[in-house]
């Protein structure tokens, strides 16, 4: 008998010998589900509470869906052309507009990527110029990281941004007040599974996110191959749970204090 599960991207397998005494065998069979449940719970809980999030008028992208609960797919660290080419058709097939937090210096390397996202109905937001830890640089440097990225987003897409997602989720009251002073909001997330660490294990991403998602969850994903692999089934699982997808800028003010 084989019992398998996944923990932190590692495949764990227990082989149970057929010649074990029956009572020992029954004990193993009884306790395995409990072990499995506690393991998957630990794996699933890498999440953060949002500090401040979108306030904007809701714009329905599909009026038929408006009674369904919403989740917000957000994708960090692009642009990454290969990921984008793979993922855009998947998002479109699932009627899933996503919010992409782009790094300015990568936008400079791939100057057409941001416009392609906007043309595909996606939202482009600010993830700083150099993916800096905003808690470790001066206020003037924080402003520069954000402004320089904003300027490039405007130049490449003609769009203003509404949010800054601090790299590594690192922010403070002073960072937040700089962001607010620039007319934007700090955008954190409520559901994450450390997808960037799950190389070769899209099933871990699918299971953890699909199980953890709640109405109004802000789901954090990254531009890594395993997430591209996970996305078709992940979106299908979220749809099967009755969710629809929306852009962060369309998140209604009434749910902005939602905590997971």
Cβ-based nearer residue to Zn ion, 77 or 116: 77
Q: Is residue 80 a contact point for Zn ion (CB under 5 A)?
A: no
Question: Minimum distance from CB of 166 to Zn ion (Å)?
Answer: 9
Which tokens belong to 110? 């791939």
Instruction: List own/partner pairs for 131-136 with CB under 8 A and 24 or more apart.
Output: 131/77, 131/103, 131/105, 131/167, 132/167, 133/167, 133/168, 133/170, 134/166, 134/167, 134/170, 134/171, 134/172, 134/175, 135/170, 135/171, 135/172, 135/175, 136/170
Question: Minimum distance from CB of 54 to Zn ion (Å)?
Answer: 19
Q: Is residue 167 a contact point for Zn ion (CB under 5 A)?
A: yes
Q: How many positions of this chain bind Zn ion (CB under 5 A)?
A: 3
Cβ-based nearer residue to Zn ion, 7 or 136: 136
Cβ-based nearer residue to Zn ion, 95 or 130: 130
Binds Zn ion (CB under 5 A): choice among 54, 71, 75, 77: 77
Q: Stretches 13-21, 32-40, 163-171, 250-258: which one binds Zn ion (CB under 5 A)?
A: 163-171
Each residue 17-56 as x (binds Zn ion by CB under 5 A) or -, in order, gives ----------------------------------------
Question: Minimum distance from CB of 79 to Zn ion (Å)?
Answer: 13
Binds Zn ion (CB under 5 A): choice among 53, 54, 70, 76: 76
User: How many CB atoms sit inside 10 A of residue 251's CB?
Assistant: 22
CA end-to-end span of the chain:
38
Report how far Cα 14 is from the mean position of its chain's Cα atoms.
32
Q: Is residue 212 a contact point for Zn ion (CB under 5 A)?
A: no
CA distance readout (Å), 44 to 36, 39, 54, 56, 211? 12, 9, 25, 30, 8
> Which residues lie near Zn ion (CB under 5 A)?
76-77, 167
């Amino acid at each position: 008998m084989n019992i398998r599960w996944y923990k932190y991207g590692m495949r764990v397998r227990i082989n149970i010998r057929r010649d074990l005494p029956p009572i020992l065998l029954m004990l193993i069979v009884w306790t395995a589900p409990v072990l499995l449940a506690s393991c998957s719970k630990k794996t699933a809980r890498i999440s953060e509470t949002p500090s401040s999030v979108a306030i904007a008028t809701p714009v329905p992208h599909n009026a038929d869906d408006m009674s369904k609960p919403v989740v917000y797919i957000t994708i960090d660290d692009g642009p990454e052309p290969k990921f984008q080419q793979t993922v855009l058709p998947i998002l479109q097939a699932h009627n899933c507009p996503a919010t992409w937090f782009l790094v300015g210096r990568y936008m400079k390397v791939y100057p057409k990527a941001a416009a392609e996202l906007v043309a595909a109905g996606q939202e482009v937001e600010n993830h700083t110029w150099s993916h800096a830890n905003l808690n470790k640089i001066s206020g003037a440097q924080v402003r520069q990281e954000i402004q320089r990225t904003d300027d490039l987003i405007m130049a490449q897409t003609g769009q203003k941004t509404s949010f800054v997602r601090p790299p590594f989720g690192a922010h403070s009251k002073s960072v937040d007040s700089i962001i607010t002073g620039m007319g934007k909001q700090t955008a954190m997330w409520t559901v994450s599974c450390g997808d960037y660490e799950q190389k070769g294990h899209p099933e871990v991403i699918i299971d953890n996110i699909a199980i953890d998602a709640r109405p109004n969850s802000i789901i954090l994903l990254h531009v890594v191959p395993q997430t591209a692999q996970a996305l078709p089934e992940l979106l299908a699982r979220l749809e099967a749970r009755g969710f629809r997808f929306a852009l962060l800028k369309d998140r209604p003010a009434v749910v902005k204090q939602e905590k997971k």
